[in-house]
Amino acid sequence: MTSSQTPPLTPEQRLDVDQIRRDFPVLSRQVHGHPLVYLDNAATAQKPRAVLDVLTRYYEDNNANIHRGVHALSQTATEQYEGSRSKIGRFIGAHEDREIVFVRGTTEAINLVAHSFVRPRLQPGDEVLITAMEHHSNIVPWQILCNEKSARLRVVPINEAGELDLDEFRDLLTSRTKIVALAHMSNALGTINPVPDIIAASHSQGVPVLLDGAQAAPHMNVNVADLDCDFYAFSGHKLYGPTGIGVLYGKANHLESMDPYQTGGEQIKSVTFEKTIYNDIPYRFEAGTPHIAGVIALGAAIDYVDSLGRDRIAAHENEILAYGTKLLSSIPGLRLIGTATNKASVLSFLLGDIHPHDIGTILDDKGIAIRTGHHCAQPVMDRFGISATARASLAFYNTKYDIDALVQGLEQVRDVLG
């Protein structure tokens, strides 16, 4: 996936974007009297009618708790819930449905692995290896754990293009490393990391790997069996599903070795005042009443994405990314942050000395939604000597028109603020 040399799409590769946009109700609305141009997909993606209908249908027709009920509503809800687990397993290439754990999002998934898998194995002097492009969700849990265990957090640096220094990674990967945790794709830069090489190098030294797939899962084919990663985490709301639902994939042998992160109902087999016996995986990690509607609707979102074809989605988004990169690069005074050869869907930039928040405010007045700030990746900002960027991020419903509107909006920003 390159932003600079993308071949023209064949007719078979092309999506019917006009039809797709009609599937997303919010895209037809106006903001401040202008058609909405939604370019904040790295923060959250919009939801197609198919997902919204599933949410409504569950609550209107089949609202019931799962697994323990013998009545018809509960049985149907359970079938739909577990059916989504199977869909998600197939979507990411898991070997078994029991390797799919439902959580609230990527953040909870990473915390679960830190608490239940790494914490019991981490000793004073051990190391956790992450990268300089991580989201705060893949930094802070490891900081807390390393502080608690007198271990050391090591960080792989990135270059000016926003790419990992693989030589430095190999130097930092030692017998003291207990886990490697990194983003499959950077939310602040768009960089797609060479995770097959990183996983192979880590496994050659017996080190497990966790991938933060929050950004990658919506934009590219992910097959955890082919990658051979030990854990993979992603969020439903970036994948056109509801908020408050996410997925942790873990190899079955790892999950079997882990104690629960949270305790309560559902995740037990039996409880007495003397002893508790935990449930089988994945249920031992799903304490309490889950986000049933969210799980079922995430299954609908995955059906929708699969109906379009992930290769066609990637081809379309890469074409729009290349178009956007070319046009933004031609704007005087604009500096792109994140120019990796292998990247997807993210255009982070600065425009002269204009503060990104001012850029975002003026664009919003034109109906253009982008994200401004540090994107929960302050170490990335520190690496480039800046405090924030403006970020336009793409989805399969974005078009060249959206990029044209962004460029026109930025010209107006320059006119207003110099």
Active-site annotation, residues: 376
Phi-psi category of residue 349: left, alpha or beta, with phi > 0 → left and psi -120 to 50 → alpha: beta
Residue with tokens 């999002």: 105
Q: How far is CA 276 from CA 28, 60, 119, 134, 272, in A?
A: 53, 36, 21, 37, 6
Q: Which two tokens stand for residue 215?
A: 């950004």
What span, in angstroms and rounded, lies between the C-alpha atoms of 33 and 55? 30
DSSP run (H or E) holding 405:
helix 400-417
Cα separation, 162 vs 193, in Å, equals: 10
Phi-psi region of 52 (alpha: psi -120 to 50; beta: other; left: phi over 0): alpha
Q: Is the peptide bond before 282 cis (omega within 30 degrees of 0)?
A: yes
Q: For residue 93, count other CB atoms closer than 10 A to its CB.
A: 15
CB atoms within 10 A of CB 399: 18
DSSP string, 15-29: --HHHHHHT-GGGG-
Q: Which residues of 232-263 are buried (b: 16+ CB within 10 A; e: fewer)?
A: bbbbbbbbbbbeebbbbbbbeebbeebebbee
Scored b (16 or more CB within 10 A) or e, 140-156 reads bbbeebbeebebeebbb
- Are the CB atoms for 165 and 216 separated by under 8 Å? no
Taking the C-alpha atoms of residue 391 and residue 370, their distance in angstroms, rounded to an integer, is 6
170, two tokens? 């190999």
Q: What is the DSSP letter of 103?
A: E
